[in-house]
Amino acid sequence: MTDDPNLIRIGNANAREDVLRDGRLHFVSGRGLARATKLLIEALPATSPGPFLVSRDRTAAIAIAARRLWPEVSVTEHHHDAFVAGLAHRNLASNAARVESVLGPTLPVGPFALIAMSFEAGADSLVARELIEEAHDALLPGGQLLAGTDGKHTWLEEAVEHVFRNARCIMPSDGPGAVMRAERKSTIARKKDRRHALRVTHAGRTLSLATCPGVFSHGRLDRGTKALLEVASERTDGPILDLGCGPGTLGIALAQDDGAGLVLVDSDTRAIACATENLSTHGLSGAQALLRGDLEDLPALPYRLATANPPYYGDGRIANSFTARAAGLLHTEGRLMLVARDAARHAEIVSAHFLEVEAKLVGDYTVFTARKARAPKAE
C-alpha cells in the first residue's frame, strides 16, 4: 500500500483505504472517506470542466482528487472555518496539491465552470440553501453544481431544485446518499435574507444581536449562554476575552459601554462577521472581533474575565484548548466562566488548569467559575 506513488494520504493514519474512479485514485486515511465525499469524487466529470470550486470539503479529498484528474484546471477550495481550513491545508500540502484556498463567510464570486459541495447527514439546511444560492451566482452560465449528501436526500433535492429549476438526482446503487446535479440557466438566484435578530436581556439592558445561518444561536438564545449570563449577573470592569464568541453574545452583554479591552475570538468567519457587525451596532469601538483557527496570537491584555460556552463536539478537545488559553492569558485576579452540560467531564478539564473551581447548576447546565489562585479567606 505504501509504495504506490498515486497514493493520497488523508491525515496521518492509514487504517482505511478507499479506491475510487476505477482504481485511479487510492486514498488512505484513519477512518475512511465520508460517504458524501466518495459520491462526489465519483460524480466529477472525466474530462476537464474548467475552473473548479469545492466547498465543505473538510479533508480536502475532493480538491486533491480534482487536482489529480485534471492537472491543468484551476482548483479553488472554500472554507467557512479557519480551524477546518488548517486541517485541509495539511492534507493539500502532504499530497503536494496546488489548490487556491479561500476562507470567508460567503463563497468566492468566481466565475466557475463546476462547483461541488458536500452536506453530511445532519447538515444545517439553511446553510445549505444559502450556499446553493451563492453557488448559482458563482457559476458561469451553463456551469454545473454537484451537491452531495450521505443521508436522506429529499431536502437537498428540493433545495437545489428551488434555486436551479433543473435538479437531477444521481442515486448510488450500493448504499445511502445521493448527488444532485444542476446547471445554471437563469441570470441571478433569488436570495432570501435568513438573518435573525437575537434579543438578550442582561443586567437591566436588552440588546439586539445579528445572527445568521451557521452561527451558533441563530435567532434563539442558547440555554447554556443564558445560564452563564445568569451566574455572571454583573457587567465586568477591565478586559474580557470571549473564547468561541459566536455572534458575540457573552462578551457584548458583559462588557462596559465602550467595549474597551473586549476581545471576541472565533474560528468561524460567519461568527466573526456577525460579531463585528454587533460591535459596530452597539458602538463598542474599543472592542475587537478576531478570526483565529486555534486561538493563536491573541492580544496580551490583563483580562479580568474569560468566557466560554464550548461546542459539544470535539470530545473535550476544544473545551480543553479554551480553558488552557484562558489560564495562560488571564490576569492573576481574573476568572474564567465556562458553561457546559457534561458537568463531570468539564470539571476535570477546568480543574486541570485552575486551582479554585466553583460549579453552579442552572437547569441542565453547569456554570464553572475558575480562578488561578485561591481567594484569601475573610478574617
- The binding site for ligand SAM (CB under 6 A) comprises 83, 216-217, 222, 225, 244-246, 249-250, 266-268, 271, 294-295, 309, 311, 318
Give the integer Cα–Cα distance in Å for 350 and 337: 10
User: Do the strands 75-79 and 52-55 form a parallel or antiparallel pair, or are they unpaired?
Assistant: parallel
* Least Å from the CB of residue 309 to ligand SAM: 4
* Least Å from the CB of residue 304 to ligand SAM: 18
Under 8 Å between Cβ of 231 and 367: yes
Residue 63, by phi and psi: left (phi above 0), alpha (psi -120 to 50) or beta?
alpha
Q: Which is nearer to ligand SAM, 163 or 228 (CB)?
A: 228
Q: Which is nearer to ligand SAM, 120 or 137 (CB)?
A: 120
Give the integer Cα–Cα distance in Å for 178 and 140: 24
* Least Å from the CB of residue 280 to ligand SAM: 18
* Residues in contact with 373: Cβ distance below 8 Å, sequence separation at least 6, in sequence order: 332, 333, 355, 356
Q: Which is nearer to ligand SAM, 52 or 322 (CB)?
A: 322
* Least Å from the CB of residue 315 to ligand SAM: 12
Under 8 Å between Cβ of 295 and 317: no
Q: Which is nearer to ligand SAM, 25 or 228 (CB)?
A: 228
Q: Is 6 exposed, middle or buried (0-12, 13-18, 19+ CB in 10 A)?
A: exposed
* Least Å from the CB of residue 115 to ligand SAM: 24
- Residue nearest to ligand SAM as judged by C-beta position: 244
Q: Which is nearer to ligand SAM, 53 or 215 (CB)?
A: 215
Under 8 Å between Cβ of 230 and 239: no
Give the integer Cα–Cα distance in Å for 144 and 136: 9
* Least Å from the CB of residue 87 to ligand SAM: 11
* Least Å from the CB of residue 311 to ligand SAM: 4
Q: Which is nearer to ligand SAM, 298 or 359 (CB)?
A: 298
* Least Å from the CB of residue 59 to ligand SAM: 17
Q: Which is nearer to ligand SAM, 128 or 271 (CB)?
A: 271
* Least Å from the CB of residue 28 to ligand SAM: 26
Please report the DSSP string for 84-143 in residue order: HHHHHHHHHHHTT---EEEESSS-----EEEEEEEE-TT--HHHHHHHHHHHHHHEEEEE
Q: Give the H/E segment covering residue 182.
A: strand 178-183
Distance in angstroms between the alpha carbons of the first and the last residue of the chain: 70
Q: Which is nearer to ligand SAM, 166 or 201 (CB)?
A: 201
Q: Which is nearer to ligand SAM, 91 or 217 (CB)?
A: 217
Cell numbers at residue 123, please?
447538515
Judged by DSSP in three states, 360 sits in strand
